[in-house]
Structures are given as structure tokens and as C-alpha cells.
């Protein structure tokens, strides 16, 4: 069964080497999103990018591949996503957080 509706997409850009209490920051964000009851979270590892430092990180040059970009994407009801934002204030010291209104189509979940 297909369901359709509005939602909010939370996209968080951080570095692969960013840590929270000696573990990957992206992992901490995903675990907190899960604990907060959000619908889901996906971590995507970039192969090349640059941010505020204006320094290009890429997999093509071995000496620069130690801090590749990482993107965490979360989509859920706007109220749930907005309630999660204060946790990011605690976790993300350097990075970018984007909120987008999105239209979602859900195709039956796993049982």
C-alpha cells in the first residue's frame, strides 16, 4: 500500500573524523535519532567535498582521504524532526544542518 504526505527532511553535513566521546559523530546522531523515535536515518559517505575550511577532501589523493564528508539524512513528521534539533545543538560543533519541506511516498514497510 502506498501512503503519501508532507514531511520534513533533516540533512546534516559533518566530517568523517568528527567524534563524540571517542566514537563517530554520525553514529551518535543515528543512535539518538533512533532513541527519539524518528522514522529512520541514513548515513552517506562522500567521495569528495569541501566545506567552511575551503579545503578539498577526496578519495583520489591518499593524504587527504582521512576526513571525507559524511551526510546524515532523516525524514519524518515536522514536529518530530524539530523536537530533535536541540540534540544537534549539543552534538554538532562544526558542520551544516539543513531542513527541507518534502513530499513523501511510503511503499509498505517491512514486517
Q: To the nearest 10°, the Cα dihedral for 43, 45, 51, 53?
A: 110
Report the topology of domain 2-106: Alpha-Beta Plaits (3.30.70)
Q: What is the share, in percent, of the chain residues with pLDDT greater than 70?
A: 88
Q: What is the share, in percent, of the chain residues with pLDDT greater than 90?
A: 67
pLDDT in tens, 4-41: 899 999 999 999 999 999 999 999 999 999 999 999 99
The span from the CA of 97 to the CA of 14, in Å, is: 9
**DSSP letter string over 21-48?**
TTEEHHHHHHHHHHHTT-S-EEEEE-SE
Name the band, by pLDDT with cuts 50, 70 and 90, for residue 109.
low
Per-residue pLDDT at 108: 67
Q: pTM for the complete prediction?
A: 0.85
Amino acid at each position: 500500500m502506498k501512503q503519501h504526505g508532507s514531511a520534513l527532511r533533516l540533512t546534516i553535513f559533518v566530517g568523517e573524523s568528527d567524534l563524540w566521546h571517542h566514537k563517530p559523530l554520525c553514529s551518535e546522531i543515528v543512535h539518538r535519532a533512533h532513541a527519539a523515535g524518528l522514522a529512520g536515518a541514513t548515513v552517506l559517505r562522500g567521495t569528495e567535498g569541501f566545506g567552511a575550511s575551503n579545503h578539498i577532501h577526496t578519495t583520489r589523493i591518499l593524504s587527504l582521504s582521512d576526513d571525507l564528508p559524511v551526510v546524515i539524512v532523516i525524514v519524518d513528521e515536522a514536529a518530530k524532526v524539530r523536537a530533535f534539533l536541540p540534540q544537534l545543538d549539543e552534538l554538532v560543533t562544526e558542520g551544516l544542518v539543513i531542513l527541507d519541506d518534502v513530499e513523501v511516498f511510503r511503499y509498505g514497510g517491512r514486517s
